[in-house]
Amino acid sequence: QVQFVESGGGLVQPGGSLRLSCSASGILFSFYTMGWYRQVPGHERELVATITSSTTTNYVDSVKGRFTISRDNAKNTVYLQMNSLKPEDTAVYYCNKARAPLVNGPFGSWGQGTQVTVSS
């Protein structure tokens, strides 16, 4: 059974930082390209960063230079370091696999996500 557990979100002021973690189980984690998705109410879920099995990383333009994705295959965990946060980064963040760098392709099962709110 595929399961993702995200953590690390919270309320932060503009310009602040957060580090998200996502623990995966029920999958051969090291095999997959993993991604961080985010969703704002009323909008589609957006894939913002991916990391391949060989640790090649890719980012959408809106987060490039501010977010860093990484993974620890020994812990079946993927991370998202978010710096210089902006109000428009406010969303629920989820992890899941991607079909390819910055190409959607998640498993059907999602975790509960972690809320990130950027506000003064």
DSSP 8-state symbol, 46 = E
Q: What is the pLDDT of residues 10-45, one digit of tens each?
A: 999 999 999 999 999 999 999 999 999 999 999 999
Does pLDDT of 93 surpass 90? Answer: yes
The Cα–Cα gap between 47 and 95 comes to 9
The Cα–Cα gap between 25 and 5 comes to 9
What value does the mean pLDDT take over residues 72-95? 98
Q: What is the pLDDT of residues 98-107, one digit of tens each?
A: 999 999 989 9
Query: Under 8 Å CB-to-CB from 24, ≥6 apart: which residues?
Result: 2, 3, 4, 34, 76, 77, 78, 95
Instruction: Compute the mean pLDDT over every residue in the chain, rounded to the nearest whole number.
Output: 96
Instruction: Residue 108: count other Cβ atoms within 10 Å of its Cβ.
Output: 6
Residue whose entry in the numeric block shows the structure tokens 């993702």: 4
pLDDT value of residue 91: 98
pLDDT value of residue 78: 98
pLDDT value of residue 50: 97
Does pLDDT of 108 surpass 90? Answer: no
pLDDT value of residue 10: 98
Does pLDDT of 116 surpass 90? Answer: yes
What value does the mean pLDDT take over residues 55-68? 97
